Amino acid sequence: MSYRYKVASVFLLGFFIDCINIFMSAVALPSLSATLHVSSSAVAWVGNAYILGLTLIVPVSTWLAARFGSREILTASMLLFAAAVCLCGQADSFHELVIWRFVQGIGGGLLIPVGQALTFNLFHGEQRAKISTLIMAVALIAPAISPTVGGLIVDSSSWRWVFYSNIPFSLIAAGLSWLWIRESKPAELQRPDIKGLLLISAALASLLMGMSLYGGDYPPLAALGFPMAGLIFVAFYLLHYRRCTNAIIELSLLRSKRLSTSIFIYYAIPGVFTGVNLMSIFFLQNTLHFSARLTGMFMILYATGAFIAMTIGGRVYNRVGAKRLFTLGMLLHSAGIATLVLVDVPGDLWLIVSAYSLMGIGGGIGANTAQTTSLMDFAGGDTHKASVIWNINRQVSFSLGAALFLMIFNVLLEPFGPPHAYHATFAIAALVGLLPLLLMNQLNPAKECP
């Protein structure tokens, strides 16, 4: 195997580990919630903590690789990941689990951007397109198979083995990184904006905490204090941004209609789906009493629909344009979510199949179009800055989607009861997923192609 394919293999293995970790753990949340005696809103921090770790470390990972070397950082990231998932499995309390999930996120966040940069620097032209196709394949295969595997693990043993199962893959990735990566330390990079990064992370954590507490067993005013704190951190970041020459988030780039619209779309489709899928997992397992394995298998339908949609969407993008593809993706995705409102009994299996298929097709069209459109207006150094915004947004959308709809469900739970609260939450999610339709006139169909 040539050197560049060795590097690509290390990156793809690490990317696969990150993807299965996100989706496999989700199907175990109802069992984890019951075992550790935590509410459905609190248990969302199993995912939130991981995303916060990723968000904190991704912007500085390239600088760390320049400082200590790519081989060392990639190896350390997977060793840290392996240690963290082991400690997640051994956690005796929910707070321990959340702490180690945060550390696990740091490990995953180190590998992905460094590995991707190394890989893309070794592949050019048509070869880079082939590698991008492999990355997309991993991004679809992992969500398709990991919930089913996670469900089998939960049904046959314990949620703890969902974490333990990551250890062998992480150790293999660490070993291959040490043996195969030969990159020397790059030239010194500009020091990252640590202060800005901490302010953004504090704002995100405060917002997520407020959503988690609101509607639970906490006074509403106390819960609202966290979003207020988040707004204060945002204000501090704005002041910091005006004085900083290397801000972690370059806000001026958001003037690009393509980037800002794509960001909004990502919250409305992948972000909303993350929350809907989490609610669906609890609905199917706790209300309809489906097994964890059967619950996980519906993601195969989602991934299949997404794969077909991405393949077709990529081929017709230049002819059809982002505006039409965005509109079609949102309509199909929200139609799938709305179908879940009609599910009342275990016999409504065909409705669940239809819902996940529609969400997969619509989600595939929307997410792929957003990925393609987001960076079209940038070149040179601005491309890297816009990429930082895009990747932070992508991770944050998952956490906000889960936190938002868990909060809505908890607010509706007491007056409506579980079945109707689930249905109402799905209905609200379907409407929220259509909000970016209001922005479609910003995209000029005649100027979609460069």
Same structural domain, 44 and 170: yes
Total of domains in the chain:
3
Mean pLDDT to the nearest integer, 147-153: 87
Measured CA to CA, the distance from residue 80 to residue 354 in angstroms comes to: 40
The Cα-based distances of 104 to 17, 117, 353 in angstroms read 11, 21, 33
Between residues 43 and 362, which one has the greater pLDDT? 362
Same structural domain, 162 and 18: yes
Residue 231: domain span: 194-247
Are the C-beta atoms of 104 and 51 separated by less than 8 Å? no
pLDDT (0 to 100) of residue 343: 96
Same structural domain, 172 and 309: no
Same structural domain, 170 and 213: no
Same structural domain, 19 and 144: yes
Give the global pTM: 0.80
Same structural domain, 285 and 419: yes
Same structural domain, 140 and 25: yes
Query: Within a 10 A sphere around the Cβ of 162, how many other Cβ atoms?
Result: 29
What are 57-73's pLDDT values in tens digits? 877 777 787 778 888 98
Are the C-beta atoms of 150 and 163 separated by less than 8 Å? no
In CATH, what number is assigned to the domain containing residue 440?
A: 1.20.1250.20
Contacts (Cβ under 8 Å, ≥6 apart) of 202: 229, 230, 233
Same structural domain, 271 and 385: yes
Query: Is pLDDT above 70 for 109?
Result: yes
- The pLDDT > 70 percentage for the chain reads 91
Mean pLDDT to the nearest integer, 432-440: 92
- The pLDDT > 90 percentage for the chain reads 32
Contacts (Cβ under 8 Å, ≥6 apart) of 379: none
Same structural domain, 198 and 342: no
Contacts (Cβ under 8 Å, ≥6 apart) of 253: 259, 378, 382, 385, 386, 389
Same structural domain, 234 and 145: no
What are 226-264's pLDDT values in tens digits? 889 989 999 999 999 998 887 878 888 888 888 899 999
pLDDT (0 to 100) of residue 448: 43
Same structural domain, 209 and 237: yes
Same structural domain, 330 and 395: yes
Contacts (Cβ under 8 Å, ≥6 apart) of 140: 303, 306, 307, 310
